[in-house]
Amino acid sequence: MLLTIIYQDEYIVAIDKPSGLLVHRSLLDKHETLFALQLLRDQIGQHVFPVHRLDRPTSGVLVFALSAEIAKNLNEQFAAQTIQKNYLAIVRGHSSVSGEIDYGLKEKLDKIADKMANKDKPAQPAITFYKQLAVFDLPYPVSKYPTARFSLLQLTPKTGRKHQLRRHLAHISHPIICDTTHGDGKYNAFVRQQFEFKQLALTCKSMAINHPVTGEGLVLRCVLNNNFKDLLEKWDISPHQLSKLNTI
């Protein structure tokens, strides 16, 4: 598998991670053989250092440092919440035009990977801002509804809790499409069967960081992936709206 590199210099490299690819080896899937870290290392011929993660089903901008020192700098930016990430998500229902989700999240622990972690931690503060970019009303009955309604949202998380966006959108009753953990099974099945859309409808579209050496602002941006683009075109999104999505 050849990864799409969206930015590279002598200090950092950023890729457009495809949905379904793990960032690094994990106890959660001991049989998996492909990981972004190893694939990128082999592709560019040097060690890379992960500085953040994307869930396996989430696609989009993923940044690696090319030295431990640079990784430390970027980790500090993430910890200080000075890095801005913009996601695109397709969710069930017609959302509000914009809003803030301020809802603390209990840390989600995995039975294997987090076996030794403290299970009694209080909920951690978690904030997500969202903006509605488009709405769709499709003439298909789903569940108890006469039509299938969806919204395309821009999501900007202020914090970075595990599965924050997926859990926050489910909390406001607009779960992300094809989220098999927090989503709506009937809507997921409808989109898979009717439109052959089979990935989580969540992608990290852009990330703004301060370059770890020059200190200049740097926006890392990926193009809208083909699965998203094809689905939105089937739903008759306008060419103007579609082109604007690549500027997010």
Summarised one tens digit per residue, pLDDT across range 212-233 is 999 999 999 999 999 999 999 9
Of 245, 109, 92, 105, nearest in space to 169 by CA: 92
Summarised one tens digit per residue, pLDDT across range 133-162 is 999 999 999 988 899 999 999 999 999 999
d(CA 134, CA 97): 9
Report which secondary-structure segment, H or E, holds 245: helix 239-245
d(CA 208, CA 83): 6
197-226 mean pLDDT? 96
Q: How confident is the model at residue 50 (pLDDT cuts 50, 70, 90)?
A: very high
Q: How confident is the model at residue 183 (pLDDT cuts 50, 70, 90)?
A: very high
- The tokens describing 183, both together, are 């989503």
Contact 164, 157 (CB under 8 A): yes
* 184 noted as active-site residue: no
Strands 49-50 and 59-65: antiparallel
Query: What is this structure's pTM?
Result: 0.93
Question: Which among 55, 110, 114, 179 is annotated as catalytic?
Answer: 55
In Å, what is the CA distance from 98 to each residue of 32, 94, 241, 242? Answer: 39, 11, 17, 19
Contact 196, 223 (CB under 8 A): no
Of 163, 171, 127, nearest in space to 55 by CA: 163
Q: How confident is the model at residue 111 (pLDDT cuts 50, 70, 90)?
A: low
Of 128, 127, 136, nearest in space to 90 by CA: 136
